[in-house]
Structure 1
Amino acid sequence: MELSKRIRRPKWTDTRLLAGAMLVVLAVVGTYLLITSANSTTRVWASAHALVPGEVLDATDLRVAEVNLADIGSKYLSADEALPAGTSVRSVVAAGELLAASTVAPLTELEGRVVAIDVAGSVPSVVAAGSLVDVWAQPEQNGLDDDGSAPRQLVESAPVAHITRDVGSFGVGDGARIEVFVGTGQLSDVLAALDGRSVLSVVGAPAAVAADSGQ
């Protein structure tokens, strides 16, 4: 009789049994939520090609990317919402890169403008849309007017919006027209060099962003 009293069938009202069952349920629910969260994706905007400040974004500049919901929060722009008209980027966005909300801004807020520069002579192959270049000016030298002036750097690390090589005005297979975004602080120097008697050159900047030029 004493042995039968000590060995009793556990009851559902037993506290330890209920606690153990609750832990099992929580583990199953937690695992389900973890798997569901890992497989959840959301649609965000990504660049279809290199994006450069000063260019107005449109549908052809973007593509939809599916990303893990847990990784983004409000950091990137949802592809379920269209970008406002007159929108550009604050800095270079490489091809295929997700479009961060902090990178996008109205064109009117950018401190600079896109300027077209005609370059006589060859341009380094690393210079492409989305890369960075330094802009230099050399006063034109004509015989006795040669004063030995050294080239002067006008802009450092200017983003390239577009480049057209082999511009005909410079002869077949020579010269290029490069559109670069120039900050407000250097804009007057560049415009003065374009209007004056200066020869402009561009040099690929060390921090150039690799991108598909589309040329």
Structure 2
Amino acid sequence: MATEAEHAGPARRLRKPGWKDPRLLVGILLVVVSVAGVLTLVSVQNQTVPMYVARQDIALGQKIDADALRVVDVRLDTVQDRYLAADEPPAADLHANTLIRGGELLPLAAVGGRDPQGRKPLSVELPQELPVAVGVGTRVDVWAAERGSNSTTYGEPKRLLQSVEVSSVRELDSGFGGSSGQLVELLVMDKDLPAMLSAIANEARLTIVYNPGKADQ
């Protein structure tokens, strides 16, 4: 005949663990640590920083002030130090030393004020329309036809510039008292400036031709 102790043994083994049971406490601790780890990882991955982006295209040599920029929150991870942060206003003497497209972050290598290739921006006024393919960042050749002695004829065109970069294009004012056409800004090396300036001063007829090839070395 079973004793009272034998009947009590199985009942103790099937008893639900209480709040003081070590196994339950360890399980709760593991769940808390796991949730905290996930939340920390998500927080780190979603961390963003305010950075400057260009409102619109910024041409080489153009002054960069607060009006030319806007602030966005982005996640850059390890490359954050390569771009202009928005933690303080832009420097008063900040200029673009390359073309910066609208909506792009500003690489630190692209701001400062001097073109790495030593080019100078030169504005050329054109009465005729540009080829459709020509725009900011494209390359063009510039041909010049000298004005004849009777001021109504022009000589044979000669190529003055080859594969130069276009840094800016804008329409000239038109209407009463104004002139129509386009003003194109080209990035020109010092050695090519005299011929271009002479052609402009002598009112040569300038023509821009799209050049899809690479720049001359």
TM-score (structure 1 length as normaliser) = 0.68
Deviation at 1:143, TM superposition (A): 8.2
- Give the letter for the 1:176 counterpart: Q
Structure-2 residue corresponding to 1:184:
190
Q: 1 CA distance for matches of 2:164 and 2:197? A: 17
Match of 1:158 among 154, 165, 173: 165
- Give the letter for the 1:158 counterpart: E
Structure-1 residue corresponding to 2:127:
120
Q: 2 CA distance for matches of 1:204 and 1:166? A: 24
2:201 maps to 1:195: yes
Match of 1:46 among 41, 53, 56: 53
Structure-1 residue corresponding to 2:69:
62
Pick closer, same or farther for the CA change 1:75–1:24 going to 2, 3 Å.
farther
Task: Give the total of aligned pairs.
Answer: 198
Deviation at 1:29, TM superposition (A): 4.0
Deviation at 1:182, TM superposition (A): 2.5
Match of 1:137 among 122, 126, 143: 143
Deviation at 1:114, TM superposition (A): 2.3
Secondary structure at 2:205 match in 1: strand
Deviation at 1:66, TM superposition (A): 1.1
Q: Which has the higher contact order (CA 8 A, sep 6+)?
A: 1
Q: CA RMSD in A?
A: 4.0
Deviation at 1:123, TM superposition (A): 1.8
Q: 2 CA distance for matches of 1:133 and 1:50? A: 17
Structure 2 unaligned regions, length at least 5: 1-16
8 Å contact from structure 2 (residues 122, 187) kept in 1: yes
- Give the letter for the 2:144 counterpart: Q
TM-score (structure 2 length as normaliser) = 0.68
- Give the letter for the 1:140 counterpart: E
Q: 1 CA distance for matches of 2:211 and 2:34? A: 54
- Please say which of residues 42-51 and 107-116 is displaced more in the overlay: 107-116
Structure 1 unaligned regions, length at least 5: 1-8, 208-215
